[in-house]
Structure 1
Amino acid sequence: MDIACYRGMPKFVGAFIEALYQNPTQLFVAMAGIAVVVGLWWYKVNNKAE
């Protein structure tokens, strides 16, 4: 599967996206990791000591 060139992006970003498309399990793990990081950040922001 040939993915179109990502214009304006660094080469490694396009390679990373290409790798995720070729490995759906890695895509799922990456999305889960991002969700955890965002969730932890959101929790910290909303539970600051008053």
Structure 2
Amino acid sequence: MDTTCYRGMPKFIGAFIDALYQNPTLMFVAMAGVTALAGLWWYKANNKTQ
């Protein structure tokens, strides 16, 4: 895959995105991790008011 579309980003971010596209399982794990972190943050933010 050509990384010219990531010209504005640092090289390691382009390489990371390229790795995600080549490994769908890794993309699923990364999305699950981001979702878990967002859910944990949302849960803590909502329970702090009590």
Structure 1, unpaired ranges of 5+: none
What's the offset of the Cα at 1:4? Answer: 4.0
Q: CA RMSD in A?
A: 1.2
Structure 2, unpaired ranges of 5+: none
Q: Where is the helix percentage greater, Structure 1 or Structure 2?
A: 2
Structure 2 length as normaliser, TM-score? Answer: 0.88
After superposition, residues 1-40 of structure 1 pair within 5 angstroms as 2-5=1-4, 6-40=6-40
4+ residue segments displaced more than 6 Å: none
Give the % identical residues.
67
Structure 1 length as normaliser, TM-score? Answer: 0.88
Aligned residues: 49
Question: Quick one: higher RCO (CA 8 Å, sep 6+), 1 or 2?
Answer: 2
